[in-house]
Amino acid sequence: MNFDIFGKCFNFKAATELKKIGFYPYFHKVESVQGPEIIVDGKKKIVVCSNNYLGLANHPKVIEASITAAKKYGTSCTGSRFLNGTNDLHEKVEKKFAKFVGKEEALLFTTGHHSNLGAISSLVGKNEVLITDRLDHASIIDGCRLSFGEMARFRHNDMADLERQLIKYQGRGMLIVVDGVFSMEGDIANLPEISRLAKKYEARVFVDEAHSLGVIGENGKGTGEYFNMEEDIDVLMATASKSLASIGGFIASKSEVIDFIKHSARTMIFTASLPPACVGAIDAALDLVIAEPERRTRLIETSKKMRSAFKSMGYNTGHSQSPIIPLTVGSDFSAFKMWKMLFDEGIFASPVVTPAVPEGNSIVRTSYMATHSDDNLNFILEKFKKVGKQLGILG
């Protein structure tokens, strides 16, 4: 049966081969809470691949709020937000989030991925154009795949290339979508220039703040606050699965835009709503983002310390400006090997290989938490130095 759709599954050997040589880095079992130190496969590891930026995923107030919500509303809303799945807690956090980011209204989806999928596919209609940065997150690309619009891409953070696309599609409805902080590279979108060009060519600006909410800007409001241009973001997306220590995703914008998305996004209408325990956690985490700015201060200090230490060791950290610090390793095989050597030294990291990065440019993506202790950070640096030298990445 050479037309069998299972043919590709039977021929898929990449994972098995990595497992055979002990270099398989995926789906390892974490047997503890998500903090700077975790237990993986029975052994303690220091984590450098978590998105728990503010360290709230095991904060007692967040856990308590989650339990309280589950006790009050049960474990599931058993239906879509559209029908029976909206409760007062969903609406409470939507209002709280909208107020926090300075938008008229917000809408809570079941995941961050769903937020991008639903909002982008409903906003970009037939004959309209979605203009994305080449390194935008996969959920943005998926949003376009689900829309009836056309997709154009510009080179990463290359404003001349963005302008070329805007000129090409001028006269059609255009939505520019960028990550605020890029998830693998850790650099920040050039919002001032994006906004200037958007005004010039009458496009709207959508910013995915998955890795910037709680992290950048004086009060952790993300890219708009970082550049002091919150008004220039027409649609703000944020996920609750990183700094907000839960799961879920927000879209925030003008009331009319939210009302339209609410009544047209397939991922709002055709999926069950976020369970109460997750909404309760978001509610408490948002309060802590506001009440404990010292977490963000520590996170930023840690990121600066780590970036400068890696650079002085000789690592290439790209254009990172955030708690995401990629270290260029080379081939996919080197990234897997480095992952394994670090794992054996007590570090849990993330290799990022093709097709997520261009061939020969694989990285080990490191990211930091406000709750990493100085000892944790020094341990991480010591091990990366040792392994980098053994692999010949460092001189």
Ligand X SMILES: Cc1ncc(COP(=O)(O)O)c(C=O)c1O
Binding residues for ligand X, rule: CB under 6 A, are 111-113, 116, 137, 139, 179, 183, 208, 210-211, 239, 241, 249
Minimum distance between the CB of residue 59 and ligand X, rounded to whole angstroms?
18
Catalytic residue flag (residue 211): yes
Catalytic residue among 45, 90, 137, 242: 242
Catalytic residue flag (residue 103): no
Task: Find, among 336, 102, 71, the residue nearest to 219 by Cα.
Answer: 102
Cα-Cα-Cα-Cα dihedral of 315, 318, 323, 329, to 10°?
A: -50
Comparison of 81 and 137: residue with beta carbon closer to ligand X: 137
Structure token digits, residue 383: 């091990």
Q: How many Å apart are CA 108 and CA 86, to the nearest integer? A: 10
CA distances from 265 to 101, 261, 278 (A): 22, 5, 21
Comparison of 107 and 309: residue with beta carbon closer to ligand X: 107
Catalytic residue among 90, 211, 221, 337: 211
Comparison of 147 and 334: residue with beta carbon closer to ligand X: 147
Catalytic residue among 115, 139, 183, 320: 183
Minimum distance between the CB of residue 140 and ligand X, rounded to whole angstroms?
7
Comparison of 45 and 211: residue with beta carbon closer to ligand X: 211
**Cβ density class 15-43: b for 16+ within 10 Å, e for less:** eeebeeeebbbeeeeeeeebbbbbebeee
Catalytic residue flag (residue 242): yes
Instruction: Please give the residue whose beta carbon sits closest to ligand X in the complex.
Output: 112
Alpha-carbon torsion (255, 257, 259, 262), positive or negative: negative
Task: Note whether 232 and 195 are within 8 A (CB).
Answer: yes
Task: Find, among 360, 362, 359, the residue nearest to 349 by Cα.
Answer: 362
Minimum distance between the CB of residue 56 and ligand X, rounded to whole angstroms?
15
Minimum distance between the CB of residue 95 and ligand X, rounded to whole angstroms?
21
Minimum distance between the CB of residue 180 and ligand X, rounded to whole angstroms?
8
Comparison of 50 and 139: residue with beta carbon closer to ligand X: 139
Comparison of 77 and 141: residue with beta carbon closer to ligand X: 141
The DSSP output letter for 328 is: E
Minimum distance between the CB of residue 395 and ligand X, rounded to whole angstroms?
33
Task: Find, among 143, 45, 126, the residue nearest to 383 by Cα.
Answer: 45
List of residues 6+ apart from 180 with CB closer than 8 A: 188, 189, 191, 207, 208, 209, 210, 211, 212, 216, 222, 223, 226
List of residues 6+ apart from 315 with CB closer than 8 A: 327, 328, 384, 388, 393, 394
Active site amino acids: 183, 211, 242
